[in-house]
Structure 1
Amino acid sequence: MSTVFMHSVVSVDGFIADEDDDVGPLHDWYFNGDTPIAADQRYDHSGTGSGFKVSRASAPYVRSMWESTGTIVMGRRLFDLINGWEGHPPTGDHVVVVSHRPKPEGWHPEASYHFVDDVTAAIGKARELAGGRAVSVNAGSVGGQVFAAGLVDEVAMDVVPVVFGSGKRYFGDVEGRHLLEGPHVVVQGEGVLHLRFKVRRQGPGKPGP
């Protein structure tokens, strides 16, 4: 069965964007290095024409994560903000959008984007599409719901040395205490610390208290 991991770039105080959905300097490290993540960059998300270029320390970690991902799960708010990467996600072959609204009429019919109105059903669809590869869930409100439902296997954070003070939280509105295992991946990049934790379970499919 596909591993489901929750992922985002995050400030040291736990925010993935400010109150206006502005990520500020959080993603600068994706473009400030000298090592391309992939030779075939299907869509230039940098807006600079040079694509993703990270430090030599970050490149193997990011490349491995991207190559292992089959499906991305995201919320409708993020989809609308970035217009679904214009049908070209940075990694994976499929995208599942958690939304009560359908795909916009005529929007990139060639793209494998699927709109599902329930997080449990969304993860089921994402696993089906991934074909054994990993499922990457964008952190934030929807990611927090997936996490709270006990459907996340691992938490992946790219921690950037910036303090936002307020904004959109990595775990959304998750309540209660949830335990993770000690980090099994720790990679020091230039301007970013890559961390990956397994979710501690208590009983089938449930995060530990």
Structure 2
Amino acid sequence: MGIVIMQSVVSVDGFIADEKDGVGPLHDWYFNGDTPIIDGGEKGFDHSGAGSGFKVSRASAAYVRPIWEGVGTIVMGRTLFDLVNGWEGRPPAGDHVVVVSHRPKPDGWHPEASYHFVDDVTAAIEKAQELAGERIVSVNGGVVGGQIFAAGLVDEVAMDVVPVVFGSGKRFFGGIDAQHLLEDPHVVVQGDRVLHLGFKVRR
């Protein structure tokens, strides 16, 4: 099975969005360079789901591109699914999406898309790994990501840290309330207005 990576763009004080799900300047670095993350620009990590051919610094592209190319399945919560309308059935990376939700997939919503709705985080990771095979399972930060992390199902934590302080909002690790040790960072990449960090989870 492939590794499970919990990853999101995050403020210096640990928030992935404000209280109203606004991301402020967190995603600005996706547009401030001259190197496309994905060749052809057909996909991009944005809330419209339309894909915008994001261009980042060369340092960020060298780090992000192989991760996106390695993703097989994205795991997300229902809040993000609703915010981006599931990227209209075209995830920014990988071929499959698992949505953790007590509500089923909306009737008639993109029946051609490989989107799977489950109501349990353990079942979500099992399904995601089944779909991904040897490829990466990418878990979005937030409440669901925090639950998956707390359940001991995450192998690595990847944070794209943007130099902004939110003060309050939606936390990278959701409502996690216990201490967990990570290994020393094995990834430290300085981009333009972003610092990419990677940590293996200490077992």
Tell me the TM-score normalized by structure 2: 0.96
Whole-angstrom distance in 1 between the partners of 2:174 and 2:71: 23
Whole-angstrom distance in 2 between the partners of 1:45 and 1:67: 13
8 Å contact 2:37–2:61 — kept in the other structure?
yes
SS of the residue 2:127 aligns to: helix
Structure-2 residue corresponding to 1:17:
17
Structure 2 letter corresponding to 1:25: P
SS of the residue 1:57 aligns to: helix
Superposition pairs of residues 125-144 of structure 1, within 5 angstroms: 125-144=127-146
Structure-1 residue corresponding to 2:65:
63
Change beyond 3 A, Cα 1:76–1:50: closer
Distance apart, 1:167 and its partner CA: 0.2
Structure-2 residue corresponding to 1:90:
92
Task: Identify the match of residue 198 of structure 1 among 194, 197, 200.
Answer: 200
Distance apart, 1:43 and its partner CA: 3.8
Change beyond 3 A, Cα 1:174–1:133: same
Whole-angstrom distance in 2 between the partners of 1:110 and 1:49: 18
8 Å contact 1:42–1:88 — kept in the other structure?
no
Distance apart, 1:45 and its partner CA: 5.0
Structure-2 residue corresponding to 1:35:
35
CA RMSD of superposed structures (Å): 1.4
Change beyond 3 A, Cα 1:9–1:49: closer
The runs of 5 or more residues in structure 1 that have no matched partner are: 202-209
Change beyond 3 A, Cα 1:94–1:170: same
Structure 2 letter corresponding to 1:114: H
Tell me the TM-score normalized by structure 1: 0.93
Structure 1 outlier segments of 4+, above 3 Å: 40-50
Whole-angstrom distance in 2 between the partners of 1:142 and 1:40: 32
SS of the residue 2:25 aligns to: coil
Whole-angstrom distance in 1 between the partners of 2:51 and 2:114: 25
Distance apart, 1:49 and its partner CA: 7.5
Distance apart, 1:71 and its partner CA: 0.2
Distance apart, 1:2 and its partner CA: 1.3
8 Å contact 2:40–2:53 — kept in the other structure?
no
Structure-2 residue corresponding to 1:118:
120
Structure-2 residue corresponding to 1:206:
none
Q: Deviations over 1:103-156 (max 9, x none)?
A: 001101111000011000000000000011010000000000000000000000
Q: Deviations over 1:141-196 (max 9, x none)?
A: 00000000000000000000000000000000001110000000110000000000
The runs of 5 or more residues in structure 2 that have no matched partner are: none
Whole-angstrom distance in 1 between the partners of 2:119 and 2:52: 36
Whole-angstrom distance in 2 between the partners of 1:42 and 1:114: 23
Q: Deviations over 1:32-67 (max 9, x none)?
A: 110001113334555698521000111011001101
Structure-1 residue corresponding to 2:7:
7
Whole-angstrom distance in 2 between the partners of 1:68 and 1:45: 15
SS of the residue 1:142 aligns to: helix
Paired residues, number: 201
Structure 2 letter corresponding to 1:16: I
Which range moves more in the overlay, 31-40 or 140-149? 31-40
